[in-house]
A = this chain, B = another copy of it.
Amino acid sequence: MRVPVGPAPRFNHGRSAGQFQGLLPSPKTTTRRGVSILTPRTTHRPAISRGCSSLHPRCRLSAPFQIRLAATDTTGAAAEAAVKRGRLWPLVYRGLAFTGFFFLSASSVLAAIFIYDATTYREAPTFEDISLSEYALHPRRGGPKNLPIAEHLVDDDESPEMKAQKHKPKLVILGTGWASVALLKQLNPDDYHVTVVSPSNYFLFTPMLPSATVGTLELRSLVEPVRRIVTRVKGHFIKAMAEDVEFSEKLVEISAVGPGGEKEHFYLPYDKLVIATGSVTNPHGVSGLEHCHFLKDISDARLIRNTVIRNLETACLPTTSDEERRRLLSFVICGGGPTGVEFAAELYDMLNEDLCRIFPKILRCEISVHVIQSRGHILNTYDEALSRYAEQRFAHEAVEVLTNSRVKEVLSDRILFTQKNEAGEIVIKELPMGFCLWSTGVSQTEFCKRIAVKLEPQKNRHALETDTHLRLIGAPLGDVYALGDCSTVQNNVSDHIVTFLRTLAWEKGKNPEDMEISYSDWRNVAKRVKTRFPQAADHLRRLDRLFERYDADQSGTLDFGELHALLRQIDSKLTSLPATAQRAHQQGQYLGRKLNKMAQAAPGMRLNQLDYGDIDEAVYKAFEYHHLGNLAYVGNAAVFDINGMGLKGGLLAVYLWRSVYFAQSVSLRTRILLAMDWTKRAFFGRDLMNF
């Protein structure tokens, strides 16, 4: 080894290691030299210093001694290194011990995973004898259409636990969205014979669906098998569509694709029916939607991902002209609601972060993203500051926002829309497009329309109306509930109270028109309103003021007309609940709790021979919606609208946005997959492949 020769150190006896070091040409070289020379003498040092702390007296004593020794060698640096080593060794030793421990722990975890993994393989198939009801194999026919009635299911008798459920009240749940899954997670396992019917055998975590369209998240991270959720309540799942309900015979008509590929219809009997079938995309009467993509289901996300990448690939072809390339790379989003905005944001992220790494750079120059919004702002249901912030972000990211614009027609290669200009004139514009997403809100499913027609009191064209106990209006009381997007809660405070007062007056033999309502009567009425319509409570805070204001004749009492006017004014203030995952989730939880309470109350009621009437009201309060806020991702930034309090920001807000959804995610499985996906994106980017 070549030893570099530096200036010889002098006066080094009394100096500390630190001072001493300063005299040498380079502390780094010195240390290295000293160590290499002294190596044979200090090899036993670790054994001595092992176990003693860094302040051990022996270590401190031996250090000056070694410095003198080293000085006589004229390699003073070595002594200094030895001092360092004397102090360093315990630290090094500890560091090594900790590192060793870390690797040991890590490998233990790995080993544990392997050992656990080894226990999860099933070797031999276990063929048990399964008992099966004859009725399950050959269901009897009946009902108005003489269809098979599935009273017994194939897994009703397969185990003692399932058998125990068999004669419990039959709870049929239509749909596997937010409402149904919240209900299923809330329900006690042993109270009902649960059957879930839906065309999709998974629950989809809809709020993050836009992230799956460009590969930020994987499709399977957003879905959870419904059968796994149903298993908890020992329930059954049938992959089929609800077609109709026979309310008088308590039968749901169901259709499924049979083994031969043809549609087969049958009836499913129920004691309690929960309709939570969601909604479909609203076409708004626009033609040419066959050229559009939608974003309602997980398969939509897959189709979008494939189309986006197909367009990128086609744009690279040598035969694609410049004009065609620009058209292919023109992404149009119809609808400036949260879905449209988040998709635009995710698309833009992908284009900024991943495209240029592997695709020709020309694509990035010719890409354009357009959002067509019918209102004056995007995210118009949010706080105005937030929607402005989102628009600023989009302007910064060169996403074109076309407000006050309505799509007229979608053609295969362009989109026609009308736009109100600043002068208030409506002009027709044209936008070439290679990809179009249609996300302009929701409308009623065919099934719900069919039911609404059957029930005379159903007047709403957009959703099934329920009372505040979520019971479907018009159906036999307490038989049928409707939750989520397919339903709306009726806020008919005045009608309800007027009917109540009329009944009261009639019972007392009075003419309701002649009734005089005193302040204390009014307080009772208000109490009744608050119980029955929890959403109205906010508007009934100052009872005295309301009483005063509507007591037009200053009589100290309200007559019937005055009360009616007061209640109508409250009605007008109540808005219908938003068609969001949040509302569906709360409704599902509410109904789950109520069904649990009903099951608890059932033995007592049976004793008292009570099996009709307003049992819902007897066992549980009315549904009250608690708005927790809205949030949206707007491209490496997120906005939060929490009860009017706005919060907006960049990356930290994005992490917060993710945390909210991470916490709300349906299972441990989806949570871990989400975390993995986010990490994967960070390290490897989005994988731009289509298949």
Number of copies of this kind of chain in the complex: 2
B-contacting 9-mer, from A220-228, A459-467, A639-647:
A220-228
Q: Given contacts A53-B51, A201-B313, A319-B148, are A123 and B361 in contact (CB under 8 A)?
A: no
Q: For the complex, is A651 an interface residue (Cβ under 8 Å from B)?
A: yes
Q: What is the minimal beta-carbon distance from A655 to any residue of chain B, in angstroms?
A: 8
B-contacting 9-mer, from A524-532, A595-603, A676-684:
A676-684
Q: For the complex, is A111 an interface residue (Cβ under 8 Å from B)?
A: no
Q: Given contacts A316-B154, A669-B684, are A124 and B202 in contact (CB under 8 A)?
A: no
Q: For the complex, is A396 an interface residue (Cβ under 8 Å from B)?
A: yes
Decide if B258 touches A117 in the complex (CB within 8 Å): no
Q: For the complex, is A282 an interface residue (Cβ under 8 Å from B)?
A: no
Decide if A130 touches B679 in the complex (CB within 8 Å): no
B-contacting 9-mer, from A66-74, A349-357, A421-429, A503-511:
A349-357
A102: B residues at CB distance < 8 A: 101-102, 105
Q: Which single residue of chain B is at the shortest CB-CB distance from A201? A: B689
CB-contacts of A391-420 with B (<8 A): 396-398, 413
Q: Which of B256, B359, B688 contacts A319 (CB 8 A)?
A: B256
Q: What is the minimal beta-carbon distance from A369 to any residue of chain B, in angstroms?
A: 10
A316: B residues at CB distance < 8 A: 154-155, 237-239
Q: For the complex, is A159 an interface residue (Cβ under 8 Å from B)?
A: yes
Q: Given contacts A218-B220, A317-B256, A396-B124, are A361 and B155 in contact (CB under 8 A)?
A: yes
Q: For the complex, is A158 an interface residue (Cβ under 8 Å from B)?
A: yes
Decide if B317 touches A121 in the complex (CB within 8 Å): no
B-contacting 9-mer, from A132-140, A553-561, A614-622:
A132-140
CB-contacts of A184-206 with B (<8 A): 200-202
Decide if B688 touches A124 in the complex (CB within 8 Å): no
A320: B residues at CB distance < 8 A: 258-259
A166: B residues at CB distance < 8 A: none
Q: For the complex, is A322 an interface residue (Cβ under 8 Å from B)?
A: yes
Q: Given contacts A117-B679, A121-B636, A690-B201, are A314 and B98 in contact (CB under 8 A)?
A: no
A230: B residues at CB distance < 8 A: 358
Q: Which of B202, B259, B651 contacts A118 (CB 8 A)?
A: B651
Q: For the complex, is A362 an interface residue (Cβ under 8 Å from B)?
A: yes
Q: Which of B201, B259, B318 contacts A327 (CB 8 A)?
A: B259
The residue among A123, A148, A238, A685 with the most chain B CB atoms within 10 A of its own CB is A123
The residue among A154, A256, A266 with the most chain B CB atoms within 10 A of its own CB is A154
Decide if B256 touches A314 in the complex (CB within 8 Å): yes
Decide if A358 touches B398 in the complex (CB within 8 Å): no
Q: For the complex, is A264 an interface residue (Cβ under 8 Å from B)?
A: yes
Decide if A225 touches B317 in the complex (CB within 8 Å): no
Decide if B352 touches A122 in the complex (CB within 8 Å): yes
Q: For the complex, is A475 an interface residue (Cβ under 8 Å from B)?
A: no
Q: What is the minimal beta-carbon distance from A371 to any residue of chain B, in angstroms?
A: 16
Write out, one digit per residue, whether chain A residues 661-691 have a CB within 8 A of any chain B CB (1) or not (0): 0000000110011001011111111011111
CB-contacts of A163-193 with B (<8 A): none
The residue among A225, A258, A313, A691 with the most chain B CB atoms within 10 A of its own CB is A691
A569: B residues at CB distance < 8 A: none
Q: Which of B325, B397, B684 contacts A125 (CB 8 A)?
A: B397
Query: A201-B690, A240-B317, A256-B319 are known contacts; what are 12 more A-B pairs with Cβ within 8 Å?
Result: A116-B683, A123-B352, A124-B397, A125-B364, A154-B318, A154-B360, A155-B361, A158-B361, A223-B691, A231-B358, A257-B314, A258-B314
